[in-house]
């Protein structure tokens, strides 16, 4: 398939890029700074200089694609990058007739806050990540309100562990038995599976060990 990845220079975005190429897909990485991708030069890769906050850049990247991955990331400070960038992505997809969007969010957003420990909810998120999670909430609202074939993926704490292919997903919001961590490689694995699997169409599955 022909795929475009926004946020390809981030930890999960890089995993998406590498796994998609290994799977034989044609991948466009839309990035502000192509040099941040390093030495990733493989058959099937197109690196496009662009900013997710610039609608024309996003439209150019989305045109002619079969599916779109959003792995847009930002720091813990006050920001609207995820929401503003995702709005541009959604509008470009609707304008260009591209249907499938797989969007990276976070466990703890919306009803999934029940999956988290009290310390994570009331200290880590409430004190240190409140701006980031507010941005995620706005981002998810934009995706939900679209007419796209979307899947919002919610992982907990991300690690740099290996791709195992063995993880839990789609667990109930009341499930407190998850480990609360998952590798970026396994998140990318799960996101790529959503290209052709409609199990979680227009849903917000969590993914964790």
Q: What is the pLDDT of residues 45-64, one digit of tens each?
A: 999 999 999 999 999 999 99
Banded pLDDT at 129 (limits 50, 70, 90) = confident
CATH number for the domain harbouring residue 144: 3.40.50.720
pLDDT tens-digit readout, 179-202: 999 999 999 999 999 999 999 999
**Structure-token match 């990318």, residue found:** 188
Backbone angles phi, psi at 115, to 5 degrees: -75, -15
In the sheet with 26-31, reading across from the earlier edge strand, the strands are 45-49, 26-31, 2-6, 67-70, 100-104, 149-153
pLDDT, residue 177, reads 86
Buried-state track 119-141, b at ≥16 Cβ within 10 A, e below 16? ebeeebbeeebeebbbbbeebbe
Pure H helices in the chain: 11-22, 55-62, 81-96, 118-119, 130-144, 184-193
For the entire predicted model, the pTM comes to 0.93
pLDDT, residue 41, reads 61
Number of domains making up the chain: 1
- Determine the Cα–Cα distance for residues 106 and 204; give it in Å rounded to an integer: 10
- Structural domain for 59, as ranges: 2-208
Average pLDDT for residues 159-181, to the nearest whole number?
94
């Amino acid at each position: 398939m022909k795929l475009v990845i926004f946020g390809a220079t981030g930890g999960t975005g890089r995993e998406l890029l590498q796994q998609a190429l290994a799977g034989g897909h044609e991948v466009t990485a839309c990035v502000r700074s192509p040099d941040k991708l390093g030495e990733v030069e493989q058959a099937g890769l197109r690196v496009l200089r662009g900013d997710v906050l610039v609608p024309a850049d996003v439209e150019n990247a989305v045109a002619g694609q079969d599916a779109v991955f959003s792995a847009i990331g930002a720091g813990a400070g006050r920001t609207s990058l995820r929401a503003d960038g995702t709005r541009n992505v959604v509008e470009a997809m609707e304008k260009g007739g591209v249907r499938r969007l797989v969007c990276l969010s976070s466990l703890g957003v919306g009803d999934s806050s029940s999956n988290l420990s009290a310390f994570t909810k009331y200290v880590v998120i409430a004190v240190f990540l409140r701006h980031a999670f507010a941005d995620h909430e706005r981002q998810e609202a934009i995706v939900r309100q679209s007419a796209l074939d979307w899947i919002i993926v919610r992982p907990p704490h991300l690690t740099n562990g290996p791709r195992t292919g063995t993880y839990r997903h789609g667990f109930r919001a009341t499930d407190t038995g998850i480990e609360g961590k998952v590798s970026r490689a396994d998140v990318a694995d799960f996101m790529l599976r959503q290209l052709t699997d409609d199990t979680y169409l227009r849903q917000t599955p969590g993914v964790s060990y």
